[in-house]
Amino acid sequence: ERVWFWGCIQGVRGSYYIAEGLRPDRAAPRIRLYSFNCLDWKLLTPATKEMVAQAEQLKGRFQGDPSFEYSFAEINPQAAEKLFGGGMEPVIKEEARLIATIEQIDKAVGIVPRGAFVKTPLGSVHENRHFEGLSLVEAKKLSSYFHFTEPVNLTNKTLLEKANLDPSTDFLDSLEHDIPKGSWSVQLEKGGAVVVLRSLLWLGLTFYHVPMTKQYGYIYFGTGEKNMDLPFML
């Protein structure tokens, strides 16, 4: 139904430009495409749990070649035994790492303002036509932004805490309980006309929102590497 530019993962010999296609149900898995020149686009297969688990073991920069193969036997022999069973050769192509990394970034730091989406009684998620943007006071709070993925912390809330929530809009996890604490930088640009959130966990992810308007979005420009040193930097 819609296609938006997701961002760019920079490799040593080339960069991957990423676009995402959205279905009518916004919570449905997205269709992802990549390109080297923003003219010729290639479809990426959906991410699997195995793919994400394997990609999490990889360190270092992307090469910029989808057919490049990483050998787990050289990187981490112990992880190779756990992740690859049945006599499979412990290798993963860079294209699979690209798919898994986009999935990881979307799940960890893909965010939307509170109230931008509504959940219908049937369970599908749609854009809220009545959303007119957050006020400047609300836009400065991390609790006003949600992870646009399956909630984890929400299920752990007590019945008393859930009583104050609106099930049609508060069906996602807010950023205020993200671990480690302090993994988001909130800044006001243009004298408070634009609120900008930057992730310190996935360096290169920037989210913006213009208060009192429907304008918001995020983009990623980085190396596709998670900042594992963040707990020691805070």
Block means of pLDDT (10 residues each) for the chain, 234 residues, are: 90 92 85 92 90 85 88 63 60 89 89 85 80 86 84 56 58 78 85 87 91 90 88 76
Q: What is the pLDDT of residue 57?
A: 83
Q: What is the pLDDT of residue 222?
A: 92
Q: How big is the chain, counted in residues?
A: 234
How would you class 150 by CB atoms within 10 Å of its CB: exposed for 0-12, middle for 13-18, buried for 19 or more? exposed
Three-state secondary structure call for residue 191 = helix
Cβ atoms of 4 and 19 closer than 8 Å: yes
How would you label 152-165 residue by residue, b for 16+ Cβ within 10 Å and e otherwise? Answer: eebeeeeeeeeeee
Cβ atoms of 107 and 100 closer than 8 Å: no
CA 184 → CA 3, 4, 12, 52, 198, distances in Å?
A: 27, 24, 27, 23, 6
Q: What is the pLDDT of residue 41?
A: 92
Q: What is the pLDDT of residue 19?
A: 94
Q: What is the pLDDT of residue 75?
A: 60
Q: What is the pLDDT of residue 70?
A: 83
Tens-digit pLDDT profile for residues 106-165: 888 888 888 888 888 777 788 888 888 888 888 888 888 888 887 665 555 555 555 556
Q: What is the pLDDT of residue 42?
A: 93
Longest dimension (CA), the chain: 60
Q: What is the pLDDT of residue 10?
A: 92
Q: What is the pLDDT of residue 143?
A: 84
Q: What is the pLDDT of residue 98?
A: 93
